[in-house]
Chain A
Amino acid sequence: QVQLVQSGAEVKKPGASVKVSCKASGYSFTDYYMHWVRQAPGQGLEWMGWINPNSGGTKYAQKFQGRVTMTRDTSISTAYMEVSRLRSDDTALYFCAREKPGDGLDVWGQGTTVTVSS
């Protein structure tokens, strides 16, 4: 079945970086854009950006420009999202989600908790 499996929870200190992985299975990884969405505790969904796994092209929300990097490894059908210069307000649940062309985000990973604390 189609699924996205994310890496485990992370605890980081302010100023550090974190890299979250998202392994796809059950479909052709390069055929669907991969998005990243985060959700701070008790808050709503915040779109961070997407990566085109075929070309490696990316598009980031302006808020994250210069601090977020999305990459992929097509040989293992895995997308990555790295956030640098972490702050306490980056504490959140981070999701990867597949974009069904013209239809929105139809498959989601289970989420990765990132906690930023000194």
Chain B
Amino acid sequence: DIQMTQSPSSLSASVGDRITITCRASQGISNYLAWYQQKPGKVPNLLISAASTLQSGVPSRFSGSGSGTDFTLTISSLQPEDVATYYCQKYNGAPYTFGQGTKLEIK
């Protein structure tokens, strides 16, 4: 099975900072990569699909890139409401494995 590895596992940054989270697949998955945001005590929310397609209603400060094995989620200017755990997920076929998550906090 393809493994999904996120880094870092946790991140502390200041409001207004640009932050990047990386997700690496152990084999190529083309662009079948989604990013989710899960705020504390809440249900996961789909942010980005097809590696770079922003879902409706998601602020434009979020962006995704990558293809094959290496992907990134970028927040251009961190806001207090972005405190959450972020997960990547492959969906090019079963199993639809998630990364282990990146917990983002505000300094």
Contact = CB atoms under 8 A, between A and B. Distances in A.
- Using C-beta atoms within 8 Å of the partner chain, give the interface range for chain B: 20 to 34
B64 to A, nearest CB: 11
Interface of A: 35, 37, 44-47, 49-50, 59, 61-62, 95, 97, 99-100, 102-106, 108-111
Interface of B: 1, 34, 36, 38, 43-46, 49-50, 53, 55, 85, 87, 89, 91, 94-101
A35 B96 contact: yes
A110 B43 contact: yes
A104 B89 contact: yes
Nearest to A60: B94
Contacts of A50: 94, 96
Contacts of A44: 85, 87, 98-101
Query: Max chain B CB contacts within 10 Å: which of A47, A49, A61?
Result: A47
Chain B interface, >50% SS class:
loop
Contact of B95 (A61, A102, A105, A108): A61
B87 A45 contact: yes
B49 A104 contact: yes
Contacts of B1: 62
B99 to A, nearest CB: 8
Contacts of B50: 102-103
Contacts of B98: 37, 44-47
B34 A104 contact: yes
A103 B49 contact: yes
A108 B100 contact: no
Contact of B101 (A35, A45, A97): A45
8 contacts: A45-B98, A62-B1, A95-B43, A95-B44, A104-B36, A105-B34, A106-B46, A108-B43
B44 A104 contact: no
